[in-house]
């Protein structure tokens, strides 16, 4: 008996991919910066099969990387070590409504979840441009943020229960326990943000929120980031996204979209609010919800420039201007294309140009962010990209505790080796 044979017995021949051509889409990450060769890609249909697959992989000592939509941007979703098995959650598609909540299988995409919520007059609080591919399991595992964090929080704030399978095949669940019904530590909460390193999330109970009435979306040119910050109202904000004139020009060049403002501004604010926001009479602005396409097309537009070093950071709001002033010297001789989630200090610093394996710019930018009291992994996770830099933002004691938790949950180090845990 071989592992492949055992996996076929568990999930069926069609759900074990060993042919290189069939494996290929699962072996490179979205940024094309990380790729590897999988021993096999296996696609279990339900929680029981996930548990059986993990037990078999443990028996044969095969490392496992769990993969949802493979839209992750820090190298955490693809095989890297010899003999690694990709466990795809694509077939975990359960979707059951509850009271202002839904139980969703790990493989359900955020887009499908949003359609389901809309059909019952509600909404799901997390939204991101990768919604049609990113999955419930992946967004729980990375504690994904997105464009609505300012209003509803990150994925963690939506989670009301999880079902998880550990590396040894044991099952943990608090799906049926009404959220917050009893005392004691939130053990299942450990798996939010664990990036596939602690266990496989097979389902989540997620809160749904009342569907908001149409808001107002405006795009405004600003001379600098503090002028943009000053336009964000104290309340009623649904989204406040930052772009730059350069970034918008790049998006318009690659997509054919029309430049929206009268001139090119250093900073452009996209604001979605409950009420029409107060703007200066002479503001260079457009009120039109269609400007969201300009924001959502940034990632793909930047990817046309080459392999992107995506530095997903967050700064204290009062430090944004300082960081932006420092940035050109930190990324020289390359240039950065910037955009982000202004309301929460989130910035995506995209740098194209460093040679493969050259992390000089990454380190310079992330060290500066940490020195300014910011986060070096704001919403995409640490993955492979930043697990080695965690000491910039976590104490030695925290990293030691992270290692001990990892060892307690995955003593053989079988799940996503090298991801998250330095």
* Residues near ligand FAD, by CB under 6 A: 30, 65-73, 76-77, 89, 106, 128-130, 133-135, 137-139, 141-142, 144-146, 195-196, 200-201, 299, 379-380, 416, 419
Q: How far is the CB of 129 from ligand MLT (least distance, A)?
A: 5
- Main-chain phi, psi angles of 360, to 5 degrees: -55, -50
Residue nearer to ligand MLT on the CB measure, 107 or 346: 346
Comparison of 122 and 129: residue with beta carbon closer to ligand FAD: 129
- 85 phi and psi, to 5 degrees? -100, 135
Calculate ∠ Cα 332-336-338, nearest 5°.
Answer: 150
The pair of structure tokens assigned to 279 is: 């703007």
Binder of residue 348, out of ligand FAD, ligand MLT, none (CB less than 5 to 8 A by kind): ligand MLT
Query: Under the criterion CB under 6 A, does residue 129 sit at the interface with ligand MLT?
Result: yes
Distance of alpha carbon 372 from alpha carbon 326, whole angstroms: 11
How many other β-carbons are positioned within 10 Å of the β-carbon of residue 296? 17
Q: Which does 63 bind (CB under 5 to 8 A by kind): ligand MLT, ligand FAD, none?
A: none
Residue 310 engages ligand MLT in binding (rule: CB under 6 A): yes
Element (H, E) at 320: helix 320-331
Residue number with CB closer to ligand FAD (133 or 322):
133
Q: Which does 387 bind (CB under 5 to 8 A by kind): ligand MLT, ligand FAD, none?
A: none
141 interacts with, out of ligand MLT, ligand FAD, none, CB within 5 to 8 A per kind: ligand FAD
**Buried b / exposed e across 20-37, counting CB within 10 Å, b at 16+?**
eeebeebbbbbbebbebe
Binder of residue 310, out of ligand MLT, ligand FAD, none (CB less than 5 to 8 A by kind): ligand MLT
Q: What are the backbone dihedrals phi and psi of residue 38, each rounded to the nearest 5 degrees, phi first?
A: -90, 140
- Structural tokens at position 6: 């055992």
Q: Among 202, 217, 244, 299, which residue sits at the site for ligand MLT (rule: CB under 6 A)?
A: 299
In the complex with ligand MLT, the residue whose CB is nearer, 40 or 113, is 113
Within 13 Å and on the Cβ side, how many CA atoms surround 347?
27
Shortest separation between residue 196's beta carbon and ligand MLT, angstroms: 19
Residue 101 CB partners (closer than 8 Å, separation 6+): 160, 205, 206, 207, 208
Taking the C-alpha atoms of residue 208 and residue 86, their distance in angstroms, rounded to an integer, is: 31
Q: 204 or 285: whose CB is closer to ligand FAD?
A: 204
| Residue 193 contact among ligand FAD, ligand MLT, none, beta carbon within 5 to 8 Å by kind | none
Do 40 and 16 meet the contact criterion of CB atoms below 8 Å apart? yes
Restricted to residues 336-365, the positions that interact with ligand MLT (CB under 6 A) are 348
> To which residue do tokens 């900073």 refer?
267
Number of residues that bind ligand MLT (CB under 6 A): 5
Does residue 420 contact residue 74 with C-beta atoms inside 8 Å? no
**Which position among 27, 127, 312, 362 is part of the footprint of ligand MLT (CB under 6 A)?**
312
**Beta strands at 16-17 and 40-42: parallel, antiparallel or unpaired:** antiparallel
77 binds, among ligand FAD, ligand MLT, none (CB under 5 to 8 A by kind): ligand FAD
The residue (of 247 and 260) whose beta carbon lies closer to ligand MLT is 247
Question: What is the number of the residue whose Cβ is closest to ligand MLT?
Answer: 299
Q: What does the alpha-carbon distance between residue 173 and residue 202 come to, in Å, rounded to a whole number?
A: 10
User: Quick one: what does residue 200 bind among ligand FAD, ligand MLT, none, with the CB cut-off 5 to 8 Å set by partner type?
Assistant: ligand FAD
Nearer to ligand MLT among residue 139 and residue 299 (C-beta): 299
Q: Specify the residue, 296 or 367, whose C-beta has the smaller distance to ligand FAD.
A: 296
For the chain, the first-to-last Cα distance in angstroms comes to 35
242 vs 285, which CB is nearer to ligand FAD?
242
In whole angstroms, the minimum distance from the beta carbon of 318 to ligand MLT comes to 22
Shortest distance (Å) from residue 54 CB to ligand FAD: 11
Q: Are 73 and 129 in contact (CB under 8 A)?
A: no
Q: Which two tokens stand for residue 310?
A: 């995506």
Residues 408 and 344 sit within 8 Å (Cβ to Cβ): no
Return residues touching ligand MLT (CB under 6 A).
129, 299, 310, 312, 348
């Amino acid at each position: 008996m071989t592992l492949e044979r055992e996996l076929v017995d568990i999930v069926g021949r069609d759900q074990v991919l060993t042919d290189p051509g069939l494996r290929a889409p699962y072996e490179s990450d979205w940024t094309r910066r990380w790729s590897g060769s999988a021993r096999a890609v296996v696609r279990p249909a339900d929680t029981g099969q996930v548990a059986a697959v993990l037990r078999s992989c443990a028996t044969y000592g095969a490392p496992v990387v769990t993969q949802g939509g493979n839209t992750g941007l820090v190298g955490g979703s693809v095989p890297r070590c010899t003999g690694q098995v990709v466990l795809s959650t694509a077939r975990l598609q359960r979707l059951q409504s509850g009271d202002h909540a839904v139980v969703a299988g790990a493989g359900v995409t955020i887009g499908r979840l949003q359609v389901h919520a809309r059909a019952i007059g509600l909404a799901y609080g997390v939204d991101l441009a990768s919604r049609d591919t990113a999955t419930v399991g992946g967004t729980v595992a990375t504690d994904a943020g997105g464009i609505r964090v300012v209003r509803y929080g990150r994925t963690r704030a939506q989670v009301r229960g999880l079902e998880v399978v550990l590396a040894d095949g044991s099952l943990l669940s608090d799906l049926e326990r009404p959220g917050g019904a009893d005392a004691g530590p939130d053990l299942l909460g450990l798996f939010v943000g664990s990036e596939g390193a602690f266990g496989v999330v097979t389902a989540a109970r997620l809160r749904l929120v009342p569907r908001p009435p149409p808001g107002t979306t405006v795009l405004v040119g600003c001379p600098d980031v503090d002028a943009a910050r000053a336009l964000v109202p104290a309340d009623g904000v649904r989204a406040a996204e930052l772009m730059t004139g350069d970034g918008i020009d790049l998006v318009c060049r690659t997509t054919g979209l029309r430049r929206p403002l009268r001139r090119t501004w250093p900073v452009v604010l996209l604001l979605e609010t409950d009420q029409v926001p107060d703007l200066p009479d002479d503001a260079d602005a457009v009120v039109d919800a269609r400007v969201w396409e300009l924001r959502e097309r940034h990632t793909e537009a930047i990817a046309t420039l080459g392999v992107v070093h995506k530095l997903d950071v967050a700064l204290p709001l009062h430090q944004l201007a300082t960081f932006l002033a420092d940035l050109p010297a930190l990324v020289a001789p390359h240039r950065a294309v910037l955009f982000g989630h202004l309301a929460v200090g989130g910035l995506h610093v995209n740098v194209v140009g460093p040679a493969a394996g050259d992390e000089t710019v990454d380190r310079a930018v992330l060290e500066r962010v940490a020195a300014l009291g910011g986060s070096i992994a704001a919403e995409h996770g640490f993955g492979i990209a930043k697990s080695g830099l965690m000491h910039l933002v976590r104490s030695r004691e925290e990293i030691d505790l992270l290692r001990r938790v990892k060892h307690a949950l995955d003593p053989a180090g079988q799940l996503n080796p090298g991801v998250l845990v330095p």
